[in-house]
Structure formats: structure tokens, C-alpha cells
Amino acid sequence: MGKYSYVGKGIPRIDAFEKVTGTALYTADMKLKGMLHAKLLKSPRPHAKIVKIDTSEAEKLPGVRAILTGEEAPYKLGIYISDKEPLARGKVRYVGEAVAAVAADTEEIAEQAVELIKVEYEDLPAVFDPREAMKKGAPRVHDNPADYRHSPFIFPEPNSNVANHFKLRKGDIERGFKEADVIVENEFNQSQVQNVQMETHSSIGQWLPDGQINIWTSAQSPFAVRHLMSVALGIPLHKINVVVPYVGGGFGGKAGIHWEPLVVLLSKKAGGRPVKLVMTREEQFNTTAVRQGLFARIKTGVKKNGKITAMEIEYIWDGGAYADYGVNIGRAAGYSCTGPYEVPNIKADSVTVYTNHPYATAYRGFGHVEFHWATERQMDLVARAIGMDPVEFRLKNAALPGKITATGEKLRDDAGRVDECIKAVAKEIGWGKKPPQPKSKKVRGIGLAALWKAPAMPSFTSSSALVRLNEDGSATLSITLTEMGQGTPTAFAQMVAEGLQIPIEKVKVVTERNTDFSPYSWQTVASRGLFMDGNAVINAVENAKDQIKATAAELLGVSKGDLVVTDEKVFVRGKPDKGMPLSAVATAGIRPDGSGIRGPVMGYGFYTAEGLTNLDPETGQGRPALMWTFGAQGAEIELDTETGDIRILKIVTALDVGKAINPQLVESQIIGGVVQGLGTAIMEEFVFNDKGALLNNNLTDYKIFRAQDIPEKFVPIIIENPQRNAPYGARGIGEHPTISVAAAVANAIYNATGVGIFDLPMSREKVWRAVQKGCKK
């Protein structure tokens, strides 16, 4: 252990100073020379042909520099299915869809111009319920999704509203049910919700006359933006530069490509002036993307001794008007469909369906928050059906190292311990004892739920990092992983400082992500960043050290193997006087006679996902998971049966993180993730009218947690069973704290009242109703 030890410590965030002083820069804060402002014209109809768009009046307005309609932008976009254009073309598919865009000298002029654009629509029948949309004869959102260019692992059904049908078949489902003593079947429902990042989508685009495209955007994945832009517009990658400053919250909603192509096209039409588009809060709710709704049906076969013999699962996703990430979310939920358990016989169908709702994109958890509501409620209900304790039931079926997952993967011996997580949570909420009951119409209960998730990503995903040694012995780290609040760059600074053995104050992580010079990393999603980019950073540090040693070895006349890099120096092991400060080798080695050798130290490291395979299109069998992070969550609640109010006394979260590089950041993610997950659990939902218009598209009527709403006590429990191929043993945890709080709360309600809840959110009204009905199962 060297003098500088940072890994495992709660080091303050390296970006905190900028953020507490308000000097951190976000896309909407940026002003460029000659910049224009864009505003959108949005569709009031859920499904209609665009008969005519008349922009003549708008064009006359002084200060208007460019107007675009869908006909002028026939570029197909889509991360998995290329089913979308920058503006609606031919028809509109959801209320709020962008139909035309204006770029003008000021926002006000742009908005006025939008009001002058006249659109004629011819209504088409619309469909809002994904189960209705799957029926024969349902209105077709896209004529034939199979016609679109799509990824080879996505299977849109021809001439239907099915954007993807993921199938998983393991074992023999009929035999599995025959072996069961008891069969339990339930249905669970939740509507679409929204990520509600504090910073709305913001993008600035510039298409210069020489064909160079520059983009500044609040996005999670600069290289994904660059790639998708290139594919859509037919521009070579090296002519596109994507710059991402600080991101004011992503939560998956900024993972792919959104408004970047539009602003760039507007810029082109405006002669190359930069064009900025910032979503209003209302547009953030129903014009930009949302999270899929889920209808889940689960049928579980179980033996009286508690062993699950079979699971038949149907996940029907309300994916909205375009496929975006929705199809892959359906797939990821499909291959994780059981939750953290070994089930020998499984038949799962996870279907992402087009509807005339706003289109769905990634959301923290990538489908796992939605389906764990179903699976973890089901686990409790099945346990009760056979008279077994729900904790014991979970442990009996737990996906432990060596067990086989739903896709036929044998869990590695260091995969992580869901049983330890479950036991830790159970202990903390006082499992086995009924909580003391208050007087009057209030009751208390405790509930528990487990969770798992692996990053959903291509089997060949890679990350890279660059560590430059500066002439004064400080180091600069370049990465592409964006900082959207999760704090991973701080963890990387810790790794660089500890790896190079220099004080952390001398490490800079470049703030801006820029595809022209930042080293490639796939996307900032999936809780993969710490694991994959962390490995890349470690490799980059090792590479830098190797270069340092090579120069020093030559200067000292020793072999590399004799040298150590520590205490801001490089020297012969055991002989600190026979060496030199790191600054001496940063740009070149200098011989006593003044001649130079070797060159600037720039450590390069990469990490590519190992051991993953494609999944069989019929059975879903294969190895999709780089690492599983296991966990469990518990809730202690007090329910006012008179009003339906849930007072959350305690939320416990245990995650097997492998290694907490920065325990304070881990706790921050846990607390923040729990509160976001609780939003889904008790207050968030989209309320549509019968014409598909979102009624609560503002923060007055779409409720998210405020300071007074939070649980009275948070108990984060960090469990560390390291994973060998992970950086310092650390697994990703960014999404996991959101995943099973809803089920834990509902299980606590059951524990308190005997009332089962099957639909989200558990609003005061819904809980009151459920308690009134007293539905027991």
C-alpha cells in the first residue's frame, strides 16, 4: 500500500465546487456567436395524416431564419429500429409529436412564428392500450415495422404493432407446471411515467458550409449521438463533433439521440448558424421521450417445499409511438424476467408494442423497476399461497453462484450474493416480528423485495481511457463517460491517484466530453461505467506507468522491472535516491548531455466486455450479462387506513457492490435512487384523456418527491463480495437502488393489512380504495 490511498474512501466529489458555486456549465447555459433559438409546433392529435402544412405566414415574420417540416427531413433515426424522423412525416403518431420547427433570432419570435403555422390533419383511429394494439384489426401505428432497418437481435412483427417480441424458453414449461403442487397467477399494471430530469433536453447544433457538424448537447452518450447522426444523415463520422458539458440529470432519458439531428438540420437551412433548442417542461413530459408502461402476467408453479418449478411470464410494454430503446428494454426485461432466482422451466414473452402514446426510451433500471414490481409482488403472493415465509421462500430459490439463470448462464463463483443482501435487509427491518401497532386507524407493516440487474449492452461493448502525465507531475484523465450526477469521474480520479501514487489534488478529469478527442466509450448507461470504464482507467494507468518506467529505465541504466512508481517519483525498488520525479519524464527523457529520448507519457487503456454472446432468437438462451449486481430492499411503513396515506418509516437497501470505491458516492446513489424509485411507487403516473392527450404534463400535477415526502430513515447497506474481473472488485450500482422499493412497500402494506396491491402508483387514493375493498389474496 502506497502513501496515497483513495480507493475505498469517501472522497468529496471533484465537481462539487463548480456545482455549489453555480459555475458548472450545462448546455442551456451556452451562448454561441450568431446563435438562433428554435421552437416546435406540436401535434394536438394522437394519430392523424398530415394533409397540409402552411408555413407562409410564419416565414414572413421578421427574425425567422429557418422553418423545417417533416417533408424536408426524410432521415430515418432509431437506435434499434429506424422508424422515426426528426419531425413527423406523413402522419403524426402521438399528441405532442413535433411537426414543424422554427429557428429565429429570439425564442419569442420563434414561438410567435410557430403560432402562425397552419396544419391540416385527417384523423385516424388511435390505439392507446398495448393489449388492444396487439389485437388483429387494431389501428396500425406503423404500417409495417418489419420493413424498417433494425438490429439483428430485435424482431418486429410484420404488419402489426409489435415492435419487438423477445422470447425466452428454458426447460419444459408444461412439465414444470405438472410438477408444481400449487399454481399462482396474477396480473400487474403501471402506466407510462417520465424521467423528470431537472435539466430538460437541450441541444445546440451547427452545420457549417464545409460539411462539418458540431453539436453541444445534454446527452449521456456522445459517441452514440455521433454514430446515429452519421447513420441517419449519411455524414462520415469524422465530420461530426459532439460535445457534452455537465448534464443536469439523465436517468436514461438522454441516453440515445433525441433533438440533435433537428437542430443540425435547422442550422443547415439557416446558413450554418448555430441553433439551440431547449425543451420546455411540458415538452419534456410529452414531446420528448418517457418510460414504458407495463402490463405483466405471471404464472408461477411451486412445490409445497418452496421450490419454484415453473414460471410463465408475459410482459406487454406500452412503448408509445416509436421503438427507440423500448425494444431493447423489452428484451433486457425478458432475459432477466424471473428476478434473482433460479427457475428450471420458463416460458417468457416480452413484447414491446407501438401505441399512440408518447414514445418510450431508456429510464434508470431499463425495464427492471417495472418488472420487479410484478415479480417481487408475485414472490410474496406465492410464498403466502404455500404458507411459507417470504424471506425463506426467496432464499430457497435464490440465484447464487453456480446456479443457472433464465438464459442458461451459470453464475460465476464471484457473481455476488443475493442471499446476504436479503438476510441483511430482513435483519434491519426486524423480519419475523410484527412491528408495534399504533393506536387508531393506523397500522404498521414490513416488507422485503430482492433485485438483480446486469448491463444491457452489445456483447462486444468497449471503453477506453487516456491518462496524460503533465510536466509538473500532475495527471489529466480523459474519458467519455458523462457526468450526470452519478459521480463516476470522482471514482476514476481516486483510481488514477492511487494507481500513479500521486495526491488526488493533482488529478484532473477533463470536464468536457468531446468526440474529437475523448477516447471512445460506448454509452453512459446500464450501470456499466464504473466497471468497464474503470477497468479502462486502470489499464491506462498501468500503461502510463509502463511508459514512465521505460523512460526512467533508459535514463538510469536499469531494467523496467527494477523500478517502482510511487510518491510522485520513479525509482529503483528500495533505493529512492536512484530515481527521478515523475515530472522529469512527462514529455521526454533528458540525458545528461541534453539529448532527448522517448516521448510524452500518455497512458492508453481499454476494456472490452468478455465472455458475452448473442441470445438465441427462439429461446433467449445465451450469455448477455457482464456482471450481475444483486440486492434487496426493505420497507417499514405506517398506513393510515382512513386516508390511504403511507408513512415510510424506513427504507433499507443492501447491494452487493463488490467494492465501494467511494462509499459516500454509493450511499448517495442509494438514497437518491430509492427516492426516485419511491416516486414510481407512490406518486408518479401519466394521466391521459380519452383522446391520448397527457393531462398532467407539468410539475403541478405530475408529482415527484419533495423534501417533505422522503422516508424518515434510509439505511444503505454495502456488501462487498468482489468480482475478480471488476476494477478493484467493484460492480455497477447506478440503477439498482430504484428497482424494488415499490414491491417492498407493497409487500409491507400486505404485511400490515392483508391487502394486496397490483397496480402502481400506490397513491393515497388507490391505497384507500384497496383497503376499502380489502382484497386479499
- Choose the stretch contacting another protein; rule: CB under 8 A; options: 478-486, 566-574, 611-619, 717-725: 478-486
CB of 660 to another protein, least distance (A): 13
Q: Which is nearer to another protein, 114 or 467 (CB)?
A: 114
- Choose the stretch contacting another protein; rule: CB under 8 A; options: 160-168, 190-198, 204-212, 599-607: 190-198
516: number of Cβ within 10 Å: 12
CB of 456 to another protein, least distance (A): 22
- Choose the stretch contacting another protein; rule: CB under 8 A; options: 127-135, 231-239, 374-382, 691-699: 691-699
CB of 62 to another protein, least distance (A): 15
Q: Which is nearer to another protein, 319 or 734 (CB)?
A: 734
Please identify which residue in 8, 9, 18, 459 interacts with another protein, judged by CB under 8 A: 18
User: Is position 616 an interface residue for another protein (rule: CB under 8 A)?
Assistant: no
C-alpha span between 153 and 582 (Å, rounded): 49
- Choose the stretch contacting another protein; rule: CB under 8 A; options: 7-15, 117-125, 544-552, 556-564: 7-15
C-alpha span between 311 and 340 (Å, rounded): 13
Residue 760, Cβ density class (10 Å: 0-12 exposed, 13-18 middle, ≥19 buried): buried
Q: Which is nearer to another protein, 382 or 484 (CB)?
A: 484
Query: DSSP characters for 116-142?
Result: H-EEEEEE------HHHHTSTTPPPSS
Catalytic residue among 97, 314, 376, 735: 735
User: Is position 325 an interface residue for another protein (rule: CB under 8 A)?
Assistant: no
**Opening angle at CA 745, ends 739 and 746, nearest 5:** 105
Please list, residue by residue across 61-87, b when 16 or more beta carbons sit within 10 angstroms of its beta carbon and e when fewer do.
beebbbbbbbeebebebbbbbbbbbbb
Q: Which is nearer to another protein, 305 or 689 (CB)?
A: 689
CB of 770 to another protein, least distance (A): 12
CB of 200 to another protein, least distance (A): 7
Please identify which residue in 2, 3, 12, 271 interacts with another protein, judged by CB under 8 A: 12
Helix/strand/coil percentages in the chain, nearest 5: 30, 25, 45
Q: Which is nearer to another protein, 305 or 700 (CB)?
A: 700
Distance from chain centroid for Cα 261: 22
CB of 67 to another protein, least distance (A): 18
Q: Report 274-303 residues binding another protein (CB under 8 A).
A: 278, 280-281
Q: Which is nearer to another protein, 669 or 723 (CB)?
A: 669
User: Is position 505 an interface residue for another protein (rule: CB under 8 A)?
Assistant: no
Q: Report 212-271 residues binding another protein (CB under 8 A).
A: 246-251
Residue 692: CA atoms inside 13 Å, Cβ hemisphere, count? 28
Residue 560-599 contact track with another protein, rule CB under 8 A, x = bound: ----------------------------------------
Beta strands per DSSP E along 424-473: 442-453, 462-469
Beta strands per DSSP E along 259-364: 275-278, 293-302, 308-318, 345-353
CB of 340 to another protein, least distance (A): 24
CB of 732 to another protein, least distance (A): 16
Residue 553: all three cell numbers together: 529505465
Residue 314: all three cell numbers together: 408475459
In angstroms, what CA-CA distances link 269 with 203, 225, 536, 699? 17, 21, 41, 35
User: Is position 186 an interface residue for another protein (rule: CB under 8 A)?
Assistant: no
Residue 620-649 contact track with another protein, rule CB under 8 A, x = bound: ----------------------xxxx----
User: Is position 199 an interface residue for another protein (rule: CB under 8 A)?
Assistant: yes
Q: How far apart are the first and last CA of the chain?
A: 57
The owner of cell 446456479 is 403
Q: Which is nearer to another protein, 479 or 675 (CB)?
A: 675
User: Is position 687 an interface residue for another protein (rule: CB under 8 A)?
Assistant: yes
Query: DSSP characters for 163-176?
Result: EEEEEEEES-HHHH
Q: Which is nearer to another protein, 688 or 750 (CB)?
A: 688
User: Is position 19 an interface residue for another protein (rule: CB under 8 A)?
Assistant: yes
Q: What is the DSSP letter of 504?
A: G
C-alpha span between 402 and 342 (Å, rounded): 10
C-alpha span between 146 and 83 (Å, rounded): 10
C-alpha span between 57 and 115 (Å, rounded): 10
- Choose the stretch contacting another protein; rule: CB under 8 A; options: 42-50, 90-98, 349-357, 484-492: 484-492
Please identify which residue in 274, 390, 473, 487 interacts with another protein, judged by CB under 8 A: 487
CB of 125 to another protein, least distance (A): 25
Residue 93-132 contact track with another protein, rule CB under 8 A, x = bound: --------------xx--x---------------------
Residue 329-368 contact track with another protein, rule CB under 8 A, x = bound: ----------------------------------------
Please identify which residue in 632, 675, 718, 748 interacts with another protein, judged by CB under 8 A: 675
Q: Rounded to the nearest 10 degrees, how much is the dihedral formed by the CA atoms of 476, 477, 482, 486?
A: -100
User: Is position 698 an interface residue for another protein (rule: CB under 8 A)?
Assistant: yes
Largest CA distance in the chain: 91
User: Is position 49 an interface residue for another protein (rule: CB under 8 A)?
Assistant: no
Is-contact 26 514, C-beta < 8 A? no
Residue 334: all three cell numbers together: 425478458
Is-contact 246 28, C-beta < 8 A? no
Residue 34: all three cell numbers together: 450568431
Helix axes 418-428, 390-397, angle to 10 degrees: 170
Please identify which residue in 46, 261, 339, 485 interacts with another protein, judged by CB under 8 A: 485
- Choose the stretch contacting another protein; rule: CB under 8 A; options: 27-35, 310-318, 500-508, 607-615: 27-35
CB of 729 to another protein, least distance (A): 22
Q: Which is nearer to another protein, 1 or 198 (CB)?
A: 198
Q: Where are the alpha helices (DSSP H) in 321-361?
A: 326-335
Is-contact 331 407, C-beta < 8 A? no
From the list 756, 760, 732, the residue with the least C-alpha distance to 673 is 732
Q: Report 748-777 residues binding another protein (CB under 8 A).
A: 763-765, 768-769
Please identify which residue in 1, 23, 33, 387 interacts with another protein, judged by CB under 8 A: 23
User: Is position 439 an interface residue for another protein (rule: CB under 8 A)?
Assistant: no
Contacts with another protein: how many residues (CB under 8 A)?
75
Provide the residue count of the chain: 777
Q: Report 699-718 residues binding another protein (CB under 8 A).
A: 699-701, 703-710, 714
Distance from chain centroid for Cα 364: 4
C-alpha span between 411 and 417 (Å, rounded): 11
C-alpha span between 673 and 671 (Å, rounded): 6
- Is 72 one of the catalytic residues? no
User: Is position 15 an interface residue for another protein (rule: CB under 8 A)?
Assistant: yes
Is-contact 371 315, C-beta < 8 A? yes
**Residues designated catalytic:** 735
